[in-house]
Structure 1
Amino acid sequence: MKIGIDKIGFYAPHLYVDMNKLAVSRNVEPEKYTIGIGQEKMALAPITQDSVTMAANAALKILDEEDKKAIDFVIFGTESGIDNSKSAGVYVHDLLGLNPYARSIEVKQACYGATAGIQMAKGHIALNPKSKVLVLGSDIARYGLNTSGEATQGAGAVAMLISADPKIMTLEENSAFLTEDIMDFWRPIHADKAFVDGKFSNEQYIAFFNKVWNQYKAKSGLELSDFEAICYHLPYTKMGFKALKTVLDEGTDEDRERLLANYKISTQYNRNVGNIYTGSLYLSLLSLLELNENLQAGSRIGLFSYGSGAVGEFFSGKLEENYREHLHVVEHEQLFSSRIEITVAEYEEIFQETLPVDSSTMELDLEKDPATICLAGITDNKRQYVNKVFGKVPVMK
Structure 2
Amino acid sequence: MSAVKRLFEKYSIDPKQVKRLEVGTESAIDKSKSIKSFIMQEFPQVEYSEMEGIDTINACYGATNALFNGLYWLNSEHTTTKKNDVYSVVVAVDIAQYDKGPARPTGGAGAVAMLLGRDAPLSFSDFRLKAFHMEHAYDFYKPKKTSYFPTVDGQYSNVCYLKALDICYERLRSRHEQPISVADLDYLCFHAPYNKLVQKSFARMVYSDFALAEESQLESLYAKYGIKDDETKSKINQYARSQPREETYNDNESSKFFIALTKKMYEQKVGASTYLPRELGNTYAASLYAGLTSLVGLKGQELQDKRINLFSYGSGLAAAMFEFQGRETTHKKHRYQLEDIKNILDLPNRLNQRQEITPEEYSKTMDHNMDVYLKHDFVSSTPTDYISSGAYYLDRVDDKYRRFYLRKE
TM class by shorter-chain length?
Answer: 0.7 to 0.9
Structure 1 residues 330 and 121: CA distance shift in structure 2, 3 A? closer
Structure 1 residues 233 and 312: CA distance shift in structure 2, 3 A? same
Structure 1 residues 54 and 330: CA distance shift in structure 2, 3 A? closer
Q: Secondary structure at the match of 1:292?
A: helix
Structure 1 residues 157 and 325: CA distance shift in structure 2, 3 A? same
Larger fraction in helix? 2
Larger fraction in strand? 1
**What amino acid does structure 1 have at the position aligned with 2:142?**
R
Structure 1 residues 276 and 157: CA distance shift in structure 2, 3 A? same
Are the equivalent residues in 2 in contact too, given 1:95–1:387 (CA < 8 A)?
Answer: no
Structure 1 partner of 2:281: 274
- Match status 1:112 vs 2:130: no
Are the equivalent residues in 2 in contact too, given 1:232–1:281 (CA < 8 A)?
Answer: yes
Structure 2 partner of 1:25: none
Structure 1 partner of 2:405: 385
Structure 2 partner of 1:181: 136
Percent identical pairs in the alignment equals: 26
**2:37 and 2:125 mapped to 1: Cα distance?**
26
**2:9 and 2:154 mapped to 1: Cα distance?**
36
**What amino acid does structure 1 have at the position aligned with 2:34?**
S
- Match status 1:223 vs 2:241: no
**2:270 and 2:32 mapped to 1: Cα distance?**
38
The offset of 1:182, in angstroms, is 0.4
Structure 1 partner of 2:241: none
**What amino acid does structure 1 have at the position aligned with 2:169?**
W
Which residue, 370, 376, 384 being the options, matches 2:388? Answer: 370
Superposition map of 1:184-333 within 5 A: 184-190=139-145, 191-221=147-177, 223-224=180-181, 225-249=183-207, 250=209, 251=221, 252-253=224-225, 257-292=264-299, 295-321=302-328, 322-329=337-344, 331-333=346-348
Which structure ranks higher in relative contact order (CA pairs < 8 Å, sequence separation ≥ 6)?
Answer: 1
Are the equivalent residues in 1 in contact too, given 2:300–2:340 (CA < 8 A)?
Answer: no
**What amino acid does structure 2 have at the position aligned with 1:143?**
Y
Number of corresponding residues: 335
The offset of 1:319, in angstroms, is 0.2
Write the deviation string for residues 23-63 of structure 1: whole angstroms up to 9, x where unpaired.
xxxxxxxxxxxxxxxxxxxxxxxxxxxxxx45446645544
Structure whose CA Rg is larger? 2
- TM (normalized to structure 2)? 0.76
| TM superposition outliers: structure 1 runs of 4+ over 6 Å | none
**1:168 and 1:183 mapped to 2: Cα distance?**
34
Structure 1 partner of 2:249: none
The offset of 1:230, in angstroms, is 1.2
Are the equivalent residues in 1 in contact too, given 2:96–2:108 (CA < 8 A)?
Answer: yes
Between 1:107-116 and 1:127-136, the stretch displaced more is 127-136
Q: Secondary structure at the match of 2:54?
A: strand
**2:226 and 2:115 mapped to 1: Cα distance?**
34
The offset of 1:152, in angstroms, is 1.5
Structure 1 residues 371 and 144: CA distance shift in structure 2, 3 A? farther
Between 1:125-134 and 1:288-297, the stretch displaced more is 288-297
Structure 1 partner of 2:16: 69
**1:138 and 1:100 mapped to 2: Cα distance?**
22
Structure 1 partner of 2:331: none
**What amino acid does structure 1 have at the position aligned with 2:388?**
P
Structure 1 partner of 2:50: 101
Are the equivalent residues in 2 in contact too, given 1:54–1:156 (CA < 8 A)?
Answer: no
Q: Secondary structure at the match of 1:235?
A: coil
**1:316 and 1:182 mapped to 2: Cα distance?**
26
The offset of 1:365, in angstroms, is 5.5
- Match status 1:158 vs 2:112: yes
Q: Secondary structure at the match of 1:123?
A: helix
**What amino acid does structure 1 have at the position aligned with 2:397?**
I
**2:2 and 2:151 mapped to 1: Cα distance?**
24
Write the deviation string for residues 82-103 of structure 1: whole angstroms up to 9, x where unpaired.
2111110111121366822212
Write the deviation string for residues 206-225 of structure 1: whole angstroms up to 9, x where unpaired.
11001010001112235124
The offset of 1:346, in angstroms, is 0.8
Between 1:80-89 and 1:350-359, the stretch displaced more is 350-359
**1:247 and 1:118 mapped to 2: Cα distance?**
24
Write the deviation string for residues 160-205 of structure 1: whole angstroms up to 9, x where unpaired.
0111111344464121001110011000152320111111111111
**2:365 and 2:42 mapped to 1: Cα distance?**
25
Are the equivalent residues in 2 in contact too, given 1:229–1:259 (CA < 8 A)?
Answer: no
Structure 2 partner of 1:28: none
Structure 2 partner of 1:132: 87
Write the deviation string for residues 89-147 of structure 1: whole angstroms up to 9, x where unpaired.
111121366822212411101100110011100111112333311101111101112x2
Are the equivalent residues in 1 in contact too, given 2:10–2:344 (CA < 8 A)?
Answer: no
Instruction: Structure 1: give runs of 5+ residues left out of the alignment.
Output: 1-52, 390-397
Instruction: Structure 2: give runs of 5+ residues left out of the alignment.
Output: 210-220, 228-261, 329-336
Between 1:255-264 and 1:219-228, the stretch displaced more is 255-264
**1:342 and 1:366 mapped to 2: Cα distance?**
13
Q: Secondary structure at the match of 1:81?
A: coil
**What amino acid does structure 2 have at the position aligned with 1:232?**
F
The offset of 1:328, in angstroms, is 4.3
Q: Secondary structure at the match of 1:353?
A: helix
Q: CA RMSD in A?
A: 2.3
